[in-house]
Amino acid sequence: MSQPVLLVIAHGSRDPRHAATVHALTQRVRAARPGLRVVTGYLDHCAPSVPQVIGRLAAEGVRDVVALPLLLTRAFHAKADIPAVLREATARLPRLAGPGHRRLTVPRLTVHQADVLGPSPLLVSALERRLREAGLRPGDRRSTGIVLASAGSTDPEAIAVIDGIAREWRHTGWRAVRPAFASAAIPAGFPRTEDAVRQLRAEGCARIAVAPYVVAPGFLPDRIARGAAGADLLADVLGDAPELASLLLRRYDAALVPSRMSLSA
């Protein structure tokens, strides 16, 4: 029996770098697991949309799909938007009538919904990789303050996750790790990227590095980059880091455990 198809659900952006980065990541996933079919669907701005991809797979006779949100926290898109899109997409699929039963429906395609990517130690490893690639040396660790720059969310669960990652990451030897947000709605008590940079500078950090906790380039990552102007170093987005590809495959495998929720059409 063939492996279920992996459907990576990306947010989408008008910035062409976003889709290019998602493509590079899915290429790395394919290389890590030959034979696994990996397709991408977007929620907005880019094509193909998630319903278009599911419709095409169903028309091809695909029976099982793992829908994996390319999201780092469980916020609105993960809790409401994506489940609704998947329900709508599967509900639109044609249904087969069983022999002698004009109204009997037979499932054609089952969608297993995977968890979001974070939190995970693999994501922290990917952040560390990007900092090294940007020029941070091992000996700089105890004198460096890190700004963990997230796109942002109004969801308390997502905010708590970002805050928790920053606190735990600091225990690995950094002078300080400060969470920051780029969206217009900044959670109470948390700074923007540029404010976090200034705070760490005022606290006496000899070196300040900004680590974007985002998957792909776009509007909010660009805002993070502008906010990092006062820092000594800006790391790249997580992008197609090997750790991220490994994490996608872990979430894919976990979604196929029998107790996971699935949608049939």
Rounded CA gap, 231 and 25, in Å?
A: 28
What mean pLDDT comes out for the span 139-165?
92
Burial class (CB in 10 A: 0-12, 13-18, 19+), 198: middle
pLDDT at site 42: 97
Contact between 119 and 213 under an 8 Å Cβ cutoff? The reply is no
**Residue tagged 């990552």 (tokens):** 221
pLDDT at site 108: 77
What mean pLDDT comes out for the span 30-50?
96
pLDDT digits (tens, 9 = 90+) for 75-106: 777 777 888 999 998 888 876 544 444 433 44
pLDDT at site 154: 81
Lowest model confidence (mean pLDDT) among 7-16, 49-58, 99-108, 178-187: 99-108
Rounded CA gap, 150 and 16, in Å?
A: 20
To the nearest whole percent, how much of the chain has pLDDT over 70? 92
**Residue tagged 């926290």 (tokens):** 73
Question: Could you write out the three-class secondary structure of the chain?
Answer: CCCCEEEEEECCCCCHHHHHHHHHHHHHHHHHCCCCCEEEEECCCCCCEHHHHHHHHHHCCCCEEEEEECCCCCCHHHHHHHHHHHHHHHHCCCCEEECCEEEEEECCCEEEECCCCCCCHHHHHHHHHHHHHCCCCHHHHHHEEEEEEECCCCCHHHHHHHHHHHHHHHCCCCCEEEEEECCCCCCCCCCEHHHHHHHHHHCCCCEEEEEEECCCCCHHHHHHHHHHHHCCEECCCCCCCHHHHHHHHHHHHHHCCCCCCEEEC
pLDDT at site 161: 93
pLDDT digits (tens, 9 = 90+) for 47-82: 999 999 999 999 999 999 999 999 999 877 777 788
pLDDT at site 187: 75
Longest Cα separation, the chain: 78
pLDDT at site 104: 35
Rounded CA gap, 25 and 19, in Å?
A: 10
Q: From residue 142, give the alpha-carbon distance in Å to each of 206, 209, 258.
A: 9, 12, 45
Count Cβ atoms below 10 Å from residue 58 Cβ, excluding itself.
Answer: 20
pLDDT digits (tens, 9 = 90+) for 206-259: 999 999 999 999 999 999 999 999 999 999 999 999 999 999 999 999 999 875
Beta bridge partners of 39: 7
Phi and psi, residue 67, nearest 5°: -95, 115
Lowest model confidence (mean pLDDT) among 55-64, 95-104, 135-144, 186-195: 95-104
> At residue 199, does pLDDT exceed 80?
yes
Domains of the chain in start order, with CATH, are 5-117+242-264 (3.40.50.1400), 135-234 (3.40.50.1400)
pLDDT at site 216: 97
What does the mean pLDDT of the chain come to? Answer: 91
Count Cβ atoms below 10 Å from residue 160 Cβ, excluding itself.
Answer: 12
What mean pLDDT comes out for the span 23-48?
97
> At residue 139, does pLDDT exceed 60?
yes
pTM of the entire predicted model = 0.90
